[in-house]
Amino acid sequence: MNKSNTDLSGVMVKLEDGQRRLVATRSFSPDADELILHETPVIWAPQRYYPGYRAWLIVRQIVDDPAKLRWITEKHFAITPQPWDAEDRSFAQEVQSVRGIDPQTTQALYFSVATNHMAFWDEKGRNIGSGLFETLCFTNHSCAPNADVTPIACRRGTALRTIKAIAPGEEITWNYLSPTDISVLAFTDRQRLIQEIFRFQCRCVRCQRHA
């Protein structure tokens, strides 16, 4: 199993109100664009496949490798129910016949992967795949984020950078929507879009002001 390569300083994953969050343990400067952390994915699938199939490619690697199964079990990633159709059911049945893993377990694995997989880039800044990361996957969405994920020149993986000053103890968040959506859309449209794409109700500080 490939070990993820993490440059990590000044952050920790904290369990709070049943949710894991990435929290700053030091202050990050008011200058935007400070590197918070850079990671390579632990398990990933190529970008050329549609998102649902990418998630399945990752699930296949997990059910084929006890070390990867142990890794994801110990991560306690958030699980958000996702669409689940006849094709998904037949994939889950195939996993049961080949690996003896019951379809419910496979479905939970699929939901976990679909909820948490994130894009990463090659050394030239091309988006080449989506994967699961040791720490980055715990960075939650906010409509008023203090960080963003970007490629990093000459390095494969995903970087988390500040877009504003961050104080110790503050949660680090990024915007899962597009920059345009987040600046243009009003509260109800943002909520609807987040629900539609990511299937959760946003309770960020900005949304709470309107709720």
Contact status: 204 vs Zn ion (CB under 5 A): yes
What's the min distance (Å) between Cβ of 186 and Zn ion?
11
Q: Check binding of 182 to Zn ion (CB under 5 A).
A: no
Taking the C-alpha atoms of residue 44 and residue 61, their distance in angstroms, rounded to an integer, is 9
Judged by CB, which is closer to Zn ion: 58, or 143?
143
Q: For Zn ion, which is the closer residue by CB, 112 or 140?
A: 140
Which of 204, 82, 87 minimizes the C-alpha distance to 142? 204
Residue closer to Zn ion (CB basis): 101 or 163: 163
Reference 93, options 108, 105, 103, 104; nearest CA is 103
Closest CA to 140 of 56, 9, 18, 1: 18
> In angstroms, rounded to a whole number, what is the distance separating the alpha carbons of residues 106 and 121?
28
C-alpha pair distances (Å), 104 with each of 46, 63, 84, 89, 110: 26, 13, 12, 10, 10
Please report, as residue ranges, which positions from 143 to 172 form the binding site for Zn ion (by CB under 5 A): 143
**CB-nearer residue toward Zn ion: 162 or 191:** 191
Binding of residue 207 to Zn ion (CB under 5 A): yes
Phi and psi at 128, nearest 5°, equal -110, -10
Measured distance CA(27)–CA(163) in Å, rounded: 13
Tell me the per-residue interface mask from 116 to 145 with Zn ion, x by CB under 5 A, - otherwise: ---------------------------x--
What DSSP state is assigned to residue 60? H
Report, in Å, the least distance between residue 102 CB and Zn ion.
Answer: 36
Least distance in angstroms from the C-beta of 50 to Zn ion: 27
Q: Is 78 in the site for Zn ion (CB under 5 A)?
A: no
Q: Which is nearer to Zn ion, 28 or 176 (CB)?
A: 176
Q: Which residues bind Zn ion (CB under 5 A)?
A: 143, 202, 204, 207
